[in-house]
Amino acid sequence: MDVILAARQLGKAIQQDERYLLLRAREQQNDNDQQLQKLIGDFNLKRIDLNNELNKEQKDQEAINRLNDEIKEIYGQVMSNENMANYNQVKNEIDSLMNFIMQILRGSVNGEDPDLIEEQANCTGSCSSCGGCH
């Protein structure tokens, strides 16, 4: 079997997985949540304000501190939004799935038997921060 074809089939299988479908539904809920969208917009505007303040030649530390506090407050509101919390839960599940898939692929490239590769706890998916999968 052609490996690119197999990768495409894997992609299709992922898109049929219940976690993927739930993630798409949660994204739509976030998009439809006007309160959440307003908070995200406010957050982005405050970040722009902060960047502008930081790029000034004469920085106003009081304004920087105030903007940082406002950004933290808005971020907390975004993350405590029920729809965002539901999205993040499913996103973490998808990230774990993708990390395990990548672990299988990396192990296979390194000569391991794909059928024997077990999911490693705390695998971030980044080999640069890893002590090894064995």
H/E segment holding residue 55: none
Q: Dihedral, CA atoms, 31, 37, 43, 49, nearest 10 degrees?
A: 110
CA distance 38 to 25: 20
pTM of the model: 0.78
Residue 62 within any structural domain of the chain: yes
Question: In terms of pLDDT, which residue wins out, 17 or 121?
Answer: 17
Per residue in 23-68, pLDDT tens?
A: 999 999 999 999 999 999 999 999 999 999 999 999 999 999 999 9
Above pLDDT 70, what percent of the chain? 90
CATH of the domain at 82: 1.20.1500
**What's the structural domain count of the chain?**
1
Residue 134 within any structural domain of the chain: no
Per residue in 53-62, pLDDT tens?
A: 999 999 999 9
